[in-house]
């Protein structure tokens, strides 16, 4: 049974992610679109956009998805090249489409590909939309429908998503701050779909910025195209080699952000959310609450405490953040994985936009990124986050969740103060610490997280929980 996870359906190419299955899911999208036609017509919306990333066979998968949807009588726009997912999301809004299908596995390993559906507002589809699409998919699976290879019909229109997307980013920046900023910056594209775009802004704003790993490479240098510390070893080498003041990194489809200071220290999404929240409040004076997923560090809570902003917490998955951004006044929303969205934009993550805002922030405070983080920690307190992923059988994961939610009273000698079971099991401990386990929504793994006043304590909590999980 094909099933959408926290952000789309993803699977290994030639195993579950096959042309037959992609065509089947595309047919479900077409059926959903036709079923909801009257609802969307009242909003002035029509048609489906289709795009793809720089992964192996993404273009070919996208063409088959577009062909299947178009053959059902639905208007289709197909991207004329690979594109970053945020650029594609903007195209959905620009075209006033019902939604968009983008073939991408985001940060997953090279052998994966995926099928995301973007809603008409340009962000991750709500759980309700995904449920409706999956209902159509269940009907097709029950009838054992097989969709054969389909020729692209002449009715399909091609579009180029880049131009309007870059203009939207320009409108979010303050050129009087960012122009001629002289810090040396490296921007790691991780061979993803954003390649070439940071260089365009570097030329436009006269920045001392160079792109790294900015070429198509479906093998992604043998690592996951995910901007977290374990996959940024080559970026660290480049930072030290060129003497960069700081570095930025975005993932395979361009919707996540990570960073690095001048000494090669990793600056995580937890740090970036907190720093940008403070910057947007202090420099822009923007109103709104702050949204974080359940795995985000307590650093964000401590940072915004003095600003008296409402703090929302959601399960993991940007679709939950997008829902709040659509319904409430939200300044910024982010998740541990590096996906961050801000107000006055679409409710979508965007690694390129966030990277440019980080550059603007450093120019505004006249300090490099590492120094800004050091100052923030000294002001609000030190929070250290650690995560490990382990492969476990589904039955083991279920036993672990049950045991933690009913029996745990201490972890590594620290008393459990309270529980959160909204997404996995999160145990709040003494000394502003917590440890959490949850099953990944995109990969067959168990994720183990901890947040504590020292890295040694966070690492010890994760190690203890991993040991417990393996022996549960």
Residue 224 CB neighbours (<10 A): 21
173-380: CATH topology? Alpha-D-Glucose-1,6-Bisphosphate; Chain A, domain 3 (3.40.120)
Q: How far apart are CA 437 and CA 332, in angstroms?
A: 25
Strands (E), 121-274: 157-159, 184-188, 208-212, 246-250, 257-261, 266-267
Strands 266-267, 208-212: parallel, antiparallel or unpaired by DSSP?
unpaired
Q: Is the pLDDT of residue 402 over 90?
A: no
Judge whether residue 442 has pLDDT over 80: no
Structure tokens at 234: 């080559």
Residue 141 has a pLDDT of 96
pLDDT for residue 137 is more than 70:
yes
The region that residue 35 occupies, defined by phi over 0 for left and psi between -120 and 50 for alpha, beta otherwise, is alpha
**Residue 3 banded pLDDT, cuts 50, 70, 90:** confident
> 176, exposed or middle or buried, with CB in 10 Å at 0-12, 13-18, 19+?
exposed
Q: Is the pLDDT of residue 261 over 90?
A: yes
pLDDT single digits (tens) 147-157: 999 999 999 99
Please, is 383 exposed, middle or buried when counting C-beta atoms within 10 Å of its C-beta (0-12, 13-18, 19+)? Answer: buried
Q: What is the model's pLDDT at position 401?
A: 83
Give CA torsion, residues 407, 411, 414, 416, to 10 deg.
-30
In angstroms, the CA 152 to CA 424 distance is: 43
Under the banding of pLDDT at 50, 70 and 90, the label for residue 443 is low
Rounded CA separation 289/3 (Å): 32
Q: How far apart are CA 428 and CA 422, in angstroms?
A: 13
In 381-436, alpha helices (H): 394-407
Order across the sheet with 266-267: list the strands: 208-212, 184-188, 246-250, 257-261, 266-267
Nearest to 70 by CA among 2, 150, 159, 160: 150
Give the list of residues 6+ apart from residue 404 with CB closer than 8 angstroms, or none: 425, 427, 437
Q: Which of 86-90, 257-261, 395-399 has the lowest mean pLDDT?
A: 395-399
pLDDT in the model for residue 177: 97
Q: Given a cut of 80, is residue 19 above it in pLDDT? A: yes
Does 407 score more than 80 pLDDT? no
Comparing 348 with 7, which gets the higher pLDDT? 348
Contact 451, 383 (CB under 8 A): yes
Residue 143 burial (C-beta neighbours within 10 Å; 0-12, 13-18, 19+): exposed
- Please report the pLDDT score of residue 317 as a whole number: 87
CATH class of 9-164: alpha beta
Question: Is residue 441 scored above 70 in pLDDT?
Answer: no
The reply to whether 9-164 and 384-470 are identical in fold is no
The pLDDT value recorded for residue 243 is 98
List 447's β-bridge partners, or say none: 389, 438
Render 24-78 in DSSP notation, one character per residue: HHHHHHHHHHHHTHHHHHHTT---EEEEE-SSTTHHHHHHHHHHHHHHTT--EEE
Among 215-219, 256-260, 328-332, 410-414, where is mean pLDDT lowest?
410-414
Domain boundaries, the chain: 9-164, 173-380, 384-470
pLDDT tens across 62-117, in order? 999 999 999 999 999 999 999 999 999 999 999 999 999 999 999 999 999 999 99
> Residue range 114-143: average pLDDT?
95
Q: What strands, in cross-sheet order, belong to the sheet with 446-452?
A: 384-390, 446-452, 434-439, 425-429, 414-420, 410-411
Contact 278, 303 (CB under 8 A): yes
In this structure, which topology does domain 384-470 adopt according to CATH? Answer: TATA-Binding Protein (3.30.310)
Structure tokens belonging to residue 334: 């982010």
Average pLDDT over residues 363-374: 97
Q: Is the pLDDT of residue 319 over 70?
A: yes
Q: Is the pLDDT of residue 46 over 70?
A: yes
Stretch 11-25: mean pLDDT: 97
8 Å CB contact between 172 and 64: no
CA pair distance 217, 331, nearest whole angstrom? 36
């Amino acid at each position: 049974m094909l099933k959408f996870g926290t952000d789309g359906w993803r699977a290994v190419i030639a195993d579950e992610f096959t042309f037959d299955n992609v065509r089947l899911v595309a047919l479900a999208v077409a059926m959903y679109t036709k079923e909801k036609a009257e609802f969307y017509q009242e909003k002035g919306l029509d048609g489906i956009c289709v795009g793809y990333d720089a992964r192996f066979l993404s273009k070919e998968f996208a063409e088959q998805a577009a062909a299947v949807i178009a053959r059902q009588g639905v208007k289709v726009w197909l991207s004329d090249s690979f594109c970053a997912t945020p650029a594609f999301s903007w195209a959905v809004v620009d075209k006033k489409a019902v939604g968009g299908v983008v073939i991408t596995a985001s940060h997953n390993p090279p052998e994966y590909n995926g099928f995301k559906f973007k809603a008409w507002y340009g962000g991750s589809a709500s759980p309700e939309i995904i449920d409706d699409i999956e209902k159509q998919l269940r009907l097709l699976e029950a009838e054992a429908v097989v969709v054969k290879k389909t020729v692209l019909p002449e009715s399909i229109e091609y579009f180029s998503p880049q131009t309007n997307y870059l203009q939207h980013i320009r409108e979010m920046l303050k050129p009087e701050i960012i122009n001629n900023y002289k810090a040396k910056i490296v921007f790691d594209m991780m061979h993803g779909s954003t390649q070439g775009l940071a260089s365009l802004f570097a030329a436009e704003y006269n920045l001392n910025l160079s792109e790294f790993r900015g070429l198509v490479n479906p093998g992604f240098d043998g690592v996951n195209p995910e901007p977290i510390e374990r996959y940024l070893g080559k970026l660290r080498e480049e930072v030290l080699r060129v003497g960069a003041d700081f570095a930025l990194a975005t993932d395979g489809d361009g919707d996540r952000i990570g960073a690095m200071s001048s000494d090669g220290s990793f600056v995580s999404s937890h740090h970036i959310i907190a720093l940008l929240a403070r910057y947007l409040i202090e420099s822009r004076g923007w109103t709104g609450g702050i949204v974080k997923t359940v795995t985000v560090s307590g650093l964000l809570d401590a940072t915004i405490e003095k600003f008296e902003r409402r703090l929302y917490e959601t399960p993991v998955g940007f679709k939950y953040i997008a829902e709040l951004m659509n319904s409430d006044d939200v300044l910024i929303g982010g998740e541990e994985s590096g996906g961050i969205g801000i107000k006055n934009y679409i409710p979508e993550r965007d690694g390129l936009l966030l990277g440019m805002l980080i550059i603007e922030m450093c120019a505004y405070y006249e300090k490099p990124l590492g120094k800004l983080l050091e100052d923030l920690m000294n002001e609000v307190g030190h929070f250290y986050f650690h995560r490990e992923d382990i492969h476990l059988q589904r039955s083991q994961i279920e036993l672990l969740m049950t045991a933690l939610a009913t029996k745990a009273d201490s972890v590594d000698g620290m008393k459990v103060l309270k529980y959160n079971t909204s997404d996995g099991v999160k145990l709040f401990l003494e000394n502003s610490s917590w440890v959490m386990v949850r099953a990944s929504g995109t990969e067959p793994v168990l994720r183990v997280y901890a947040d504590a006043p020292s890295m040694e304590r966070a690492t010890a909590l994760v190690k203890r929980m991993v040991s417990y999980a393996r022996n549960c």
